[in-house]
Structures are given as structure tokens and as C-alpha cells.
Amino acid sequence: METHVYNESFRRFEPKKKVCLFCKTKALNSSMEDNCFSSVYNIQNRTNIVVYRNVKFNEVKIGIPRCSKCCSVHSMAKISSYVTVFVGVLLVFIIPIYLAVQFDLGTIGMIFLVILMFGLVYLAVLAVEKAILSTYDVISEKDGAMKEPLVREFLRNGWSLDRPTA
Ligand SMILES: [Zn+2]
């Protein structure tokens, strides 16, 4: 019941299945590079993973079948959120400084506005990504990863989708 093939040179598990997990159209994946490769990290240092017992990893990539349409929707969502961050970072500083000077708010007022702007930019980035994904009826990379049985198996064995901070 092996669902993936391990690729030594890329240090990743390549999916054998082709049906896309991200859209409802059940489109078929046609190129290995269209797949979504999601990193999982070994957080507890107990490498008792059933699939690849004899190799020790700190990080490994697991391929989740993805069609070319979902691949481009995901990269479009990423580019849009970078653009939002870029515009947002400019606004984070420009708007508070402008308002503070205009209305004589002082340092405390300006700091408050900067924090408020950071919050708004963060929400805007999430909203942009969500809007693009829902327009095309595609689920996020992380949600797709959670649907992949091999990813879930790693998570059960103490691995994490989030990069360890320490
Ligand atoms: Zn798809």
C-alpha cells in the first residue's frame, strides 16, 4: 500500500496517485513539479516513522497530488500576498507618520497607529489569499496536506508541519 516513492536526490516522497487533492474537479496531475511538496519536521527526535525506519530526517518533503490548475492558483495566491505585504509595509509607516504629523498625535499615538496598521495588513494578506482560493474553489496547501494520509502518518509519529523554532 505504498502511496509514495522516495526520491533520494530531492529528499522527498513523490506521490504515485494523480488525482488532485485540492479541487473538487478530480483533475489529474500531469507533471511531478505541479505536485505540492509540503515539508514536515521532526520535532521530538524520535524517528520511529514506519515508512522509512532506517533513515533519520529532520525535515522531509511529502508530495501531495495537485493538478496544474491548482498549482497556478496556489502560486498566484502566494504572489498576491507578497504584493499585499510589500504595499502593506509601506503603508504601515506612511499612514501613521502622515496622520501623526497631520493631527499632532505624538509618539504614543503614532506607535498605536503602526501596531494597528500591522494588524490590518496581516488581515489583508489573509483575506487576499482566501479570496483567491475561494474564487477558484481550491483549498489551501496546508488544508490539502492534512488530507494526505502519508502526512497524517508523519504527524501521528510526532512530526510537525511547522518548522521548529528552537
Ligand atoms: Zn486541482
- Taking the centre of ligand 1 as the mean of its atom positions, its distance from the CA of residue 72, in whole angstroms, is 10
Domain that holds residue 101: 72-135
pLDDT mean across residues, the chain? 86
Residues 23 and 62 in one domain: yes
Alpha carbon of 4 to ligand 1 centroid (Å)? 19
Has residue 121 been placed in a domain?
A: yes
3-state secondary structure of 23: strand
Distance 67 CA to ligand 1 centre (A): 4
Query: Within this chain, do residues 100 and 78 fall inside the same structural domain, yes or no?
Result: yes
- Cβ atoms of 77 and 142 within 8 Å: the answer is no
What confidence tens digit (pLDDT) does each residue in 101-159 have?
888 878 888 888 888 888 988 999 999 999 999 999 999 999 999 999 999 998 988 88
> Does residue 20 sit in the same domain as residue 100?
no
What is the count of structural domains for the chain?
A: 2
Q: How far is the CA of 88 from the centre of ligand 1 (A)?
A: 30
Q: Rounded to the nearest 5°, which phi and psi values hold at 129?
A: -60, -45
- CA distances (Å), 108 to each of 72, 91, 111, 112, 113, in order? 44, 18, 5, 6, 9
C-alpha of residue 139 to centroid of ligand 1, in Å? 9
Give CA–CA dist 108/114, Å, rounded.
10
| Cα 37 to averaged position of ligand 1 atoms, centre (Å) | 14
Distance 140 CA to ligand 1 centre (A): 11
The residue length of the chain stands at 166
Rounded to the nearest angstrom, the distance between the alpha carbon of 14 and the centre of ligand 1 is 17
Distance 95 CA to ligand 1 centre (A): 40
Under DSSP, is residue 39 helix (H, G, I), strand (E, B) or coil? strand
Q: Is residue 1 domain-resident?
A: no
45 within domain boundaries: yes
**pLDDT tens-digit readout, 51-72:** 554 445 578 899 999 999 999 9
Using the mean position of ligand 1's atoms as its centre, give its distance from the Cα of residue 8 in Å: 26
How many Cα atoms sit within 13 Å of 114 on the Cβ side?
A: 12
Residues 86 and 130 in one domain: yes
Please give the pLDDT value at position 91.
84
Considering the domain architecture, whether residues 126 and 143 belong to the same structural domain is answered as: no
- State in Å: Cα 41 to ligand 1 middle: 25
Residue partners of 79: CB distance under 8 A and separation at least 6: none
* One domain, residues 94 and 63: no
- Distance (Å, whole) CA 69 – CA 94: 37
CA–centroid distance, residue 152 to ligand 1 (Å): 20
| Distance from the alpha carbon of residue 78 to the mean position of ligand 1, in angstroms | 16
pTM above 0.75, yes or no: yes
